[in-house]
Structure 1
Amino acid sequence: MCTAFVSIEPGSAVPVLLLSVRDEYLGRAWLPPDHHWPQRPELLGGLDLAAGGTWLAVDPERRTAACLLNGFGPLAPADTRLSRGGLPLTAVREGGIGHLDLSPYDPFHLVQVRPDGARVTSWGGGLLTEHELPTGLSVVLNDGLEGMAANRTASERVRALMAARADHFRARFAAVPRPEPAAGGPTEPAWGDWLPIVTGDGLALDGDAALIQRRDFGDGRIWGSSSVSLLALGPELLRYDFATAPVPADGSGWRRMEV
């Protein structure tokens, strides 16, 4: 249950904030963000060692980023299926993915952020939709923007877990001052009151509303949050902070990426 929160305040010194939590089977190998793609050396992101792509790509030159969430719906044909991990890389370099033939891809939601706003592109069941995000706080789940994708999970339990997470953390972010991170300096003062919230807000890892989670499905299959990313974008600003999950509540474990 990957989740992205996007805060847009056009009059702010830092108009766009992105929180991205990656959830995956924890046995899937990956590497932390770096310049992993020789053919695109300027791009920064974590590397999925299973397929060679990424769940979040950043282009420091253009001050743009794109994060990927899996969706629900009919899968692409097995004989032509392509990894979705290349889509964030394409999106940040080419300004979007609407020009691509998406039929080889399983369902997904792609969140693209830039200094003046954000957009969500969703694909599933042969349908492509795009939504420019409004001012304020938006949440993107595996069920799409605000959980309202055309193709959603058939599991009432999974839907309830996503709703609990969205409701709890929307309320928590609304209850504290919105940060305006500077480009430099440590993570903790930069993100202020958001930081203890994004590290889990004290919730149990298996709680219904858990943002940072661990769930044991047996036979050694552990599903959970593998990393957390925080990005701040403005006219002259791009800040990217990254941590492997679970993140210590004292604020340690964060790394400000050089962009």
Structure 2
Amino acid sequence: MCTVALSVEPDAAIPLIMVGVRDEFTGRPWVPPDEHWPGLVGGRDLQAGGTWLAVDPASGRAGALLNGHGVLADERRRRSRGDLPLLAAAQGRLPDLDLSRYDPFHLVLGEAGGARMWSWDGSGLRVTEFPPGTHMIVNSGWEEGEENERVAFFRPLFAEAARPLTVEGPWEEWAFLATGAGLPPEDPRAMVIRRELPDGRVFASLSVTMLALTPSGIRYDFTGAPRDPGSFHRVLPR
């Protein structure tokens, strides 16, 4: 279960703070964020060639992908969802695509002016415009209630976190929350997880991204050590 947390405050110096935790099978190969595509920066999935989160530094936009629930695409026509964050970041919208070729997804687009999300369940498309406030998206979508234990635990913490006045920080409180706030990975509330499956595979949180989106640009921090708040490194600006 991947997670995206959004803090939308239009009048703040940093109008949008975006945190993304990527969960995937540990055996799936990937490389850390870089300009793997012309003008676009993100981690690259080496299996399908796409990404889970893409940033367009020139436009100040970021696209993040979460798998959704619903009807799977016909495997004979299926396209990888990993191209969707790239297209959204580059174009500022969900392109005109044959969505029937994609498995269900939630595609979040963030910029200094706010955030929106397209949710495809295999039969219909829903668009969400996020109002000011703190929001969390998981595989079931935008969670507003307390039914999801992860959201019920973390959303108040993100909402109460001190908002940095500049992109230079301080970001320590946000880094602590983004890397799981010290909860063990087996805790049902955990945002940074690790699950050993009966067939021997391991499904786990592999990386964490923190973005600060402002009218003058994006700060992009990343770690591939998702339980260590001190391991973030600056991706953008270079």
TM-score where L is the length of structure 2: 0.94
User: How far does the alpha carbon of each residue in 1:182-222 deviate from its partner, in whole angstroms, 9 at most, with x for none?
Assistant: 2x5xxxx4313222111211111111011111111122211
The structure 1 residue matched to 2:175, chosen from 195, 212, 220, is 195
Give 2:161's aligned residue. 176
Q: Which amino acid aligns with 1:30?
A: W
Matched residue, 2:136: 139
Question: What does residue 55 of structure 2 align with?
Answer: 58
AA matched with 1:174? A
Moved over 6 A (4+): none
Instruction: Select 1:210's aligned residue among 171, 187, 190.
Output: 190
5 Å matches for 1:1-259? 1-37=1-37, 41-146=38-143, 163-182=148-167, 189-248=169-228, 251-259=229-237
User: 1:5–1:139: 8 Å Cα contact kept in structure 2?
Assistant: yes
CA contact (8 A) 2:87 2:95 kept: no
Provide the C-alpha distance between the structure 1 equivalents of 2:158 and 2:6, rounded to a whole number of angstroms.
11
* Deviation per residue, 1:161-201 (Å, 9 max, x gap): xx11111101212333223442x5xxxx4313222111211
- Judging by fraction of residues, say which structure has more strand: 2
Tell me the SS of whatever aligns to 1:196: helix
Q: Which amino acid aligns with 1:219?
A: D
- Code of the aligned partner of 1:93: A
CA contact (8 A) 2:44 2:51 kept: yes
Cα distance between partner residues in 2 of 1:78 and 1:176 = 43
Decide whether the 8 Å contact of 2:61 with 2:110 is kept in 1: yes
Q: What amino acid maps onto 2:36 in structure 1? A: H
Q: Post-superposition shift, 1:100?
A: 1.6
Deviation at 1:59, TM superposition (A): 0.1
Deviations 1:41-92 (A, max 9, x none): 1100000011000000000000000000000111001111000000111111
With the length of structure 1 as denominator, give the TM-score of the two structures: 0.87
8 A contact 1:141–1:147 mirrored in 2: no
Counting aligned pairs with the same residue, the percent is 46
Gaps of 5+ in 2: none
Name the residue aligned to 1:151.
none
RMSD (Å), alpha carbons: 1.7
How far apart are the structure 2 equivalents of 1:115 and 1:172? 22
> C-alpha separation between the residues in 1 aligned to 2:161 and 2:114?
22
Aligned residues: 237
Counterpart contact for 1:212–1:245, Cα < 8 Å = no
Q: 1:81·1:106 contact (CA, 8 Å) conserved in 2? A: yes
Give the 3 Å change call, closer, same or farther, for CA 31–179 of structure 1 in structure 2.
same
Letter in 2 for 1:9: E
